[in-house]
Amino acid sequence: MSTKILLIEDNPDHILLTKKILEEASHEYKVEPTNEVKEGLKRIVEDGYDLVLCDYRLPGLSALEILREMKEKGKDLPFVVVTASGNEKAAVDLMREGAYDYVLKDISYEETLPIVIKRSLERYRAKKEKEALEKKIEEAAKAWEVTFNSITDMISIHDRDYKIVRVNKAFADVFKTNPDEVIGKTCYEVVHCRKEPWPVCPHKQALETGQPVRAEFFDSHLGIYLEVSASPIFNEEGKVVATVHIAKDITTRKKAEQELQSAYQKLQETQQQLIQSAKMAATGQLVAGVSHELNQPLTGIKGFAQALLMDLEENSPARADLKKIVEQADRMDATIKSLRLFARKSEFKTEELDINKPIQDALMLLSQQLKVDNIRLSTSFGENLPKIQGDSNQLQQVFLNLITNARDAIDSLKHPDGGELLIKTALSEDSKYVEITFEDTGCGIHPEDLENIFNPFFTTKSSLGGIGLGLSITYGIIEEHRGKIEVKSQEGKGTTFKIILPVMRKAE
């Protein structure tokens, strides 16, 4: 590839000499001379030359004026001045204006000219390469800056003293500032509003271990959940000198996880309720059949025993045995009636109901027994509670059963000071339900028994004659009221039953 050199010279002999010297020095040099200054300027602007070789003294314009004109027109070319001996100072002044070099027209001209031209071309190429490299670096820096600031996660670089070296736009936006205002401040000051490093700071761990660190936490200052990774930056000696932090706002994900966990727990509760309902339904069908089959022979046994009692003399030794038969038949009859009540899906006598009323009715029947058993009763009835739709008699049966169970649980401890029973009614936080709580200080329920207490015929009071239907009937009644019943217990300290019933809607 040829190197085009524009020679501006008014002396024909010097033109021939210069052209001959350069073209013999390198076959790549192509010298195009002109003795017209204006023509030279036009060529510089319009044609693609690689170098301008200009005589110092020219008619019309000097080399200095040509150089200035060339620069004004935005042409950046190597400009070499040819001058006679004694004009070195003028040539140096030209170089200060931007000329690359100068050559003296003396006996060394033939030897010096190719060297100066080659040196100027190399200098120009080096300059252009440097400019191209600087431009690439600048473009890369801008591209990196754009990329750095386009990332929506918060990115920051921290030195060993916890001072922030650089942050992206997302980081600055979160803290409602601009990047320059946080540079030089400590990360714990900016991020956590603290005067000392955060106790479990990922930056500190990365500095100490030289390994990437990842953490999730709730930032109370920002009010969001963050996922933070800190990666160490090493110097040439392998020492950690800084860390890169990437912080992602995971509040939405965390809330979704919490909602999913809550939904899963509700699903488990619903599954347990469905299982319990299925067990109750299956047991109810069985109980209905068994009670029917037992009732007829039991009626016969009791009738024949009573008939024999009427025929026997008062002093007959058999009377005592027959009386025991009648007593046990009565007990079995009572059990069968309970079974029928459990098995029967009774029709509600629904009415608008103040939930406090059936509780107070139940307490009227049992309050004296509670006093006799030294049980201190406390009540906290919510005022102006919304009405529910329910059967007062059935709900009263539920409350009688729970109060009786609490009394028995307290009695079983045989504590000389008795115990306490708290009954409370209140509206739920969302105002959709009425909550009734029975909290006693009795013996509590063994953890292994908690999951079985609503099962038919499961009882912990067999020594007291219990048959295990009370809580099963309670569960069924509450279920029919579209409610649910929850229990918490700590063995040796007491039990809390909570009944949750829906309030009446306007449509109802």
Class of domain 151-249: alpha beta
Residue limits of CATH 3.30.565.10 in the chain: 351-502
**Any idea which residue has 């047991």 for tokens?**
283
What pLDDT was estimated at residue 73? Answer: 87
Query: Tell me, which fold does domain 3-142 have in CATH?
Result: Rossmann fold (3.40.50)
Residues 56/83, Cβ–Cβ less than 8 Å: yes
What pLDDT was estimated at residue 485? Answer: 92
Residues 82/54, Cβ–Cβ less than 8 Å: yes
Residue limits of CATH 3.40.50.2300 in the chain: 3-142
Global confidence as pTM: 0.42
What pLDDT was estimated at residue 111? Answer: 92
Give a three-class secondary structure readout of 181-248: HHCCCEHHHHHCCCCCCCCCCHHHHHHHHCCCEEEEEEECCCCEEEEEEEEEEECCCCCEEEEEEEEE
What pLDDT was estimated at residue 59? Answer: 82
Residues of the chain under the 70 pLDDT cut: 85-86, 269-293, 296, 334-348, 457-469, 506-508
Residues paired with 82 in a beta bridge: 55, 103
**Any idea which residue has 């007593």 for tokens?**
327
What pLDDT was estimated at residue 188? Answer: 83
Residue limits of CATH 1.10.287 in the chain: 267-343
For residue 258, give both structure tokens.
């919490």
Query: Tell me, which fold does domain 351-502 have in CATH?
Result: Heat Shock Protein 90 (3.30.565)
What pLDDT was estimated at residue 402? Answer: 92
* 51-66 per-position pLDDT tens digit: 999 998 888 778 888 8
* CATH no., domain 267-343: 1.10.287
